[in-house]
Amino acid sequence: MTAQPTADQMQIIQAMAKANALPSRTPVLKTPADYGMEYQDVFFPALDGVPLEAWFIPAEGSDKLIICNHPLTFSRYGFPGHLEPWSAFAPITVEFNEIYKALHDAGYNVLTYDMRNHGHSGHANAGLAAYGLFEWRDVAGAQIYVQTHETLRHMRVGLFNPCNGGNSAMVAMKKRPDLFHDVKAFVCPQPCSSRIAAEQIGNLQGIGDFIDVLDTEMQKLGAFPMASMTPHDYAKDVKVPTYIVQVHGDLWTRPEDVQGTFDRLSLPDEDKVLYWIEGTTARFDGYSYFGQHPESMIAFFDKYME
């Protein structure tokens, strides 16, 4: 007879299912002004019409633009790991304004937006998270906004899309390749497969033997099957030079997941880079990495956008 979860395990499974399928919003606590940057509040629709809230950070005299988004449970601000209840999920604060400032100081304009169901952007798809299967429409909407904007349409474009944002970009590149002809470079910290993340976190939570039960509970809430929520199915359609970074000892995934995404990129070896961050097991340290060590990110963008 197949083992069944205990009542306590089932409680954990249902809590994980809700957190995975219907992530709560995080606040937008700081703006670029807190980092000494002038910016504009802008907004535009996703491909399916969902309103997306954004910041545009101009770099005077520059014709280079980086479009940024964020991971699940984050906002364009980052993640408030110093505050409850978010500290219970991950007690690490991530401030993406550090990355925007590094880009800005290096001569790049920045457009950064909250994805659907996150930050200040619109509610959509019953609030469900889909590891890119819904959110790719946000990436497509940002491309259309730039390509139809009186000024931005003349700029050379790069993407900084971490985790779920990176997954979403890969899905968009497959579904709407016509929107990415002007994109010169793609920096993608920590793309992630839902099933592998669930297995790793499930082991930490003591429900590792019941990931199929978790999958079923998530689908009861409306989520896609976890096996379908992976960048592996889309990486081969990425035609843009790509730089992936990943915390090697990340407790929430396994190295072979990111290696599998990287290996599927149909790019010449000289146009794709995979860098392993060592010395930590905390996934969120990977999101802060380029804020503290922007040199390789800037060099990658400079190489392909000059």
Which residue type is seen at 118? H
82/88 Cα distance (integer angstroms): 9
- Please state whether beta strands 156-160 and 109-113 pair in parallel, antiparallel, or not at all (unpaired): unpaired
283-292 and 97-105 helices cross at what angle (nearest 10)?
30
287/166 Cα distance (integer angstroms): 12
Kindly give, in sequence order, each residue whose CB lies less than 8 Å from that of residue 187, ignoring residues fewer than 6 positions away.
158, 159, 160, 161, 242, 243, 245, 290, 297, 300, 301
Q: Are 131 and 194 within 8 A, CB to CB?
A: yes
Backbone dihedral angles phi then psi of residue 122, each to the nearest 5 degrees: -70, 155
Residue reference for tokens 């992630």:
192
Hey, is 74 helix, strand or coil?
A: coil
One digit per residue, the tens of pLDDT, for the chain of length 306 reads 578 999 999 999 999 999 999 999 999 999 999 999 999 999 999 999 999 999 999 999 999 999 999 999 999 999 999 999 999 999 999 999 999 999 999 999 999 999 999 999 999 999 999 999 999 999 999 999 999 999 999 999 999 999 999 999 999 999 999 999 999 999 999 999 999 999 999 999 999 999 999 999 999 999 999 999 999 999 999 999 999 999 999 999 999 999 999 999 999 999 999 999 999 999 999 999 999 999 999 999 999 998
298/91 Cα distance (integer angstroms): 28
Which CA distances in Å does 108 have to 42, 91, 237, 279? 17, 31, 26, 30
CATH architecture of 7-305: 3-Layer(aba) Sandwich (3.40)
In DSSP terms, which residues pair with 94 in a beta bridge?
Answer: 79
**Domain residue limits, the chain:** 7-305
Write the DSSP symbol of residue 240: S
Strands (E), 132-289: 156-160, 183-189, 242-247, 272-277
Q: Residue 288 corresponds to which tokens in the numbers above?
A: 């802060």
DSSP structure string for 75-124: -SSEE-TTSTTHHHH----EETHHHHHHHHHTT-EEEEEPPTTSTTSPP-
